[in-house]
Chain A
Amino acid sequence: LLSLEAGRALIRPPAFERTEAPRVTPQRKILLVGWDSADWRLISPLLDRGLMPALSGVIERGVMGNLASLEPMLSPLIWTSIATGKFPHQHGVLGFVEPDPLGGGIRNVGSTTRRGKALWNLLSESGLATHVVSWYASHPAETIRGVCASDRFALAPTPTAEPWPLPEGAIQPAAAAAALAQFRLHPTEIEASQLLPFIPRAAELDQRDPAVAGRLTALARILAQTASVQAAATWILETQPWDFLGVYFRALDDLGHHFMPFRPPCLPGVSETDVAVYGNVMEAACCFHDLMLARLLHLAGPDTTVIVISDHGFESGAQRPGAVANEPETMSGWHRQFGILAAAGPGVRRDERIYGCSVLDLTPTVLHLFGLPVGRDMAGKVLVNALEVPGEVARIPTWENPASDAAPAVAAPANAGEEAALFEHLVALGYMQRPDADTERQMRRAADEITFNRITSLVSAGQAGEASVEARRLAERNPTERRHRLKLVQALLHAGHLSEARDELAVVETELGHCPNTGRMIAHLLMLEGNPAEALRRLQAAESEAPDDMRLHEQIGRVLLQQRRWRDAEQRYRRVLAAEPENPSACVGLAAALARQNHNVEAAQWALTALGLQHFLPEGHFQLGAVLTKLNFPERAIQAFETGLSMRPGHVPAHRFLARLYRHIGHTDRAAHHRQRIRELDPSAPAED
């Protein structure tokens, strides 16, 4: 790590919006490796068997932990959050596709969708030799201080290898294009023997069977792309000066959507034969990734700080949601909330497990490791618990430069409304032609999906008020779309607009009929309205129809807490956690139930477990603060409440605790501040208790 003094000398955060990027003299190299959908549940048994020695080495000489994902759990959104430290509604990549600003249909999201700078822009501006290969949503490649190969660089759209031109804009600088083009592997170049480690019985299969042919073709395609990405990364490490290399592999996700249903144990609807034939693909894929990682580590050298991450996990056991994983409607249901994080090298603690890491934290952490400041507009934090000497985190208001017309990367307004407005503007000027009705419908659907995901992101980030306004417009545009109507209800509930939520729910039930989701929302509403008895009655009725639905049990737990039935709530949450040990909100519920029964130490442990799983959990910080207060740790309780308030501003109970705690430790001015906040937020509430 840079020493604190050296870091200060190099950084010197400006008092106002900066006009030039901070520059740093590189004293370390960082290799950031992204494995889409990698999951400890799949990987840990392989580590135990010694089948992933490279990753095992990283863990042994460094740190490991879960990496909490974000909602909505979709790869382009999450990988862009990883690369920006921002929520999806902040960075603007909000779906797989977006309306084409030309009014000509839809297009894949890419670097031109992103609002603002990615990590590679920031490092590049700071003078670091920066390279990035195949990052999700990175096309067209951007001009950086190094090589940028976009995620379309390795795609093979043609059925044969000749001719196989590089997609337009896939490589920057253009001078690197010829070198990298020759390293690409076309799927037709994958030989049968290269498929055998994944499907040892491939030669026995009847390839005239379309399902078999489809799977073998998919495997060859994915292997070819992966090999191309690896080749580009190794070429950079071998031939280019570098301080940072970010390389992204999507194969585990792609393969998971094709082959995870065949992994043992055999799922209902999957044949035993398919399990016998394809059951080893995912394990083999993990070992393949480990081999690639070994090569990258060797080339990067021992003085490199390496970070291996995934955007989310992937269900691989008994909780897999069905026998098919590659249907668009159900694909995201296979994703699990926790991905992986492993890091090692200079500056990183050794052989430690770390907690509370989020995909939002990667960019702030890499910036800090390079001695660069973190933008206050970033939602993530520096993972100081992973660092030997965390040092002081330098901050600047933002890395963006709003005054610049030539904002890098961003070529078209990502916001669907702006997009449509620009198109209308150009049509009015007479330079563009309106698309036909089918194309317009397609574009509208894409725009609505972007809006839907933006609302989800806003709600996740605690901005339910803004979310509810957008959700209202979306629901009005699509009155027959149940998920849009329920998204509005969800946003209204989070924003505390209970009467509006009730009205909307009533209309939805009348117009579109009842469904389990509306039932759960009505119960949630009843609870918020102070009618837990009726909420419980409805939930118990639903429970008889879906006894294994853990979301239902968790909701019942919340009602029981409200009814002060602490023991019953505890049992409910324990049941949820038996089925879902990594459910952070159930951990918080259990902590609350235990604290009310004066099992304070265990309650604190569960609250900490919850926050270890997911740091952005305001209720978790609140419960931790409450139990630490009871355990007489006022300073630590204050820290917990303050953290929770930073995530959920205006939470009156937290202000009340803080007023009391600050008075207790003699900080009367801080106590007075919180009493004042209580009066402002709830004039009818007594400030003293």
Chain B
Amino acid sequence: MTAPAALADTAVVVSGLPRSGTSLLMAMLQAGGVPLLTDGQRAPDTDNPRGYFEFEAVKALRTDAAWLAEARGKAVKIVAPLVFQLPPALACRILFLERDLDEVVASQTAMLARKGITSPLSPSALKAALARQVAQARVVLTDTAQRRVCFVEHRRLIQSPHAAARSIADFLGGGLNVAAMAAVVEPGLYRQRHTQAALPFS
């Protein structure tokens, strides 16, 4: 697979908090025709049946960014805490997922529970810490000469996949298969939807 012409010299960075829909968006981009930079080391599991679409070297981004040369013309997943380490001179388009924080906390907690691990942070402390990460993204991730940033609502991705896919394709310069991208979204995988508790006497 080769990248659409508009992305030939640009890395597409998919970012967001862990469990904010970054894997879903990676799958959409792949379906749309964007090559992915992944190594398949992290296998699909119950939490991400499609797979994680990760690249192990991302975790060492702070100390070694040489691999970013491989990301030109490809999409790579770099979760929120690490995305702030991208070199300013990197030509890239960043898609930053934003998801209801209660849903993110619930999803991360469930993922840890399946591993038999208890988070060192209480749900409220975790939510506050994650909120700060998003706030930092809003402050730091701004458009520059080399970089363009698009914040993507996870809820919109689920509720209006076609419109969302169209917006994403436009942001990336067009040339993507929007219908294939939208078809990736399966509402059945959207398990940690945050709903208001029903009123007992309503």
A binds B: yes
Residue ranges of A at the interface with B (Cβ–Cβ < 8 Å): 100-102, 104-105, 111-112, 140-143, 165, 168-169, 172, 174, 405-413, 418, 420-422, 424-426, 428-433
B135 contacts A428, CB within 8 Å? no
What mask results when residues 71 to 106 of chain B are scored 1 for a CB within 8 Å of chain A, else 0? 000000001011011001100000000000100000
Looking at the complex, which one of B18, B135, B143 makes contact with A429 (CB distance below 8 Å)?
A: B18
Number of A-B contacts (CB under 8 A): 106
- Measured in the bound complex, the distance between the Cα atoms of B121 and A420 in whole Å is 10
Interface presence of B127 (CB below 8 A): yes
Chain B residues near A431 (CB-CB < 8 A): 18, 59, 79, 81
Contacting residues, chain B, for A102 (C-beta < 8 A): 62, 81-82, 84-85
Assess A432 versus B121: contact at CB under 8 Å? Given A413-B132, A422-B129: no
Q: Which residues of B sit under 8 angstroms from A141, Cβ to Cβ?
A: 139
Cross-chain contact B139 with A406 (CB below 8 angstroms): no
Q: How far is the CB of B155 from chain A (nearest CB, A)?
A: 15
Pick 9 A–B contacts, CB within 8 A, sort by A. A105-B62, A140-B139, A165-B88, A168-B144, A174-B142, A406-B134, A412-B129, A413-B129, A425-B119
A101 and B144 alpha carbons, distance in the complex (Å)? 25
Structural contact, A421 and B132, CB atoms closer than 8 A: no
When the two chains form their complex, are residues A433 and B81 in contact, meaning their CB atoms are under 8 A apart? no
Q: Quick one: given A408-B135, A413-B128, A429-B112, are A174 and B143 in contact (CB under 8 Å)?
A: yes
Contacts of B137 in A (CB 8 A): 411
Q: In the complex, are the beta carbons of A104 and B63 less than 8 A apart?
A: yes
Known: A142-B139, A410-B132. A421 touches B120 (CB 8 A): yes
Contact status A426-B42, CB under 8 Å:
no
In the complex, what distance in Å separates the CA atom of A662 from the CA atom of B47? 68
Nearest CB of chain A from residue B32's CB, rounded to whole Å: 24
Closest 3 CB pairs of A and B: A411-B136, A104-B62, A433-B59
Given A406-B134, A406-B135, A426-B18: A169 in contact with B129 (beta carbons within 8 A): no
Interface residues on B, range: 35 or more
B117 touches A428 (CB 8 A): yes
List 9 extra interface pairs beyond A413-B125, A413-B132, A425-B119, CB under 8 A. Answer: A140-B136, A140-B140, A168-B140, A406-B135, A412-B136, A413-B129, A418-B121, A421-B120, A432-B59
Q: Are B139 and A429 in contact, with the CB atoms below 8 A?
A: no
Say yes or no: B88 contacts A411, CB within 8 Å: no
Q: Does any Cβ of A come within 8 Å of B69's Cβ?
A: no
Of B108, B115, B133, which is within 8 A of A411 by CB?
A: B133
The minimal Cβ–Cβ distance linking A93 to chain B, given in whole angstroms, is 14
CA distance A421 to B129 in the complex (A): 10
Name the residue of chain B whose CB is nearest to the CB of A167.
Answer: B88
Give the complex CA separation of A204 and B82 in angstroms.
51
- For B81, the chain A residues whose CB sits under 8 A away are 101-102, 426, 431-432
Is residue B126 contacting chain A, with contact meaning CB distance below 8 A?
yes
Q: Which A residues touch B111, using CB under 8 A?
A: 429
Given the complex, which residues of B lie within 8 Å of A168, measured CB to CB? Answer: 88, 140, 144
Chain B positions near chain A (C-beta within 8 angstroms): 18-19, 42, 59-60, 62-63, 79, 81-82, 84-85, 88-89, 101, 108, 111-112, 115, 117, 119-121, 125-129, 131-140, 142-144
CA gap between A105 and B125 in the complex, in Å: 23
**In the assembled complex, which residues on chain A have CB atoms less than 8 Å from the CB atom of B101?**
405
Kindly provide the distance from the CB of A84 to the nearest chain B CB, expressed in whole angstroms: 17
User: Which partner residue on chain A sits nearest B120 by CB separation?
Assistant: A421
Could you tell me the distance between the alpha carbons of A409 and B136 in the complex, rounded to whole angstroms?
7
Q: How far is the CB of B136 from chain A (nearest CB, A)?
A: 3
Whether A422 pairs with B121 at a CB distance below 8 angstroms is yes
Please tell me if the beta carbons of B135 and A411 are within 8 angstroms of each other in the complex: yes
> In the bound complex, what is the Cα–Cα distance between A433 and B139 (angstroms)?
25
A428 with B115, Cβ < 8 A, contacts A102-B82, A433-B59 known? yes
User: What is the minimal beta-carbon distance from A111 to any residue of chain B, in angstroms?
Assistant: 8
Residues of A within 8 A of B140 (CB): 140, 168-169, 411
From residue B26, how far is it (CB to closest CB) to chain A in Å?
14
Contacts of B85 in A (CB 8 A): 102, 104
Known contacts: A169-B140, A174-B143. The answer to whether A112 contacts B120 by CB under 8 A is no
CB distance from B16 to the nearest CB of A (A): 11
Q: Is the CB of B135 within 8 A of A421?
A: no
Nearest chain A residue, comparing its CB with the CB of B125:
A418
Which of B119, B135, B143 meets A410, CB within 8 Å? B135
Contacts of A429 in B (CB 8 A): 18-19, 108, 111-112
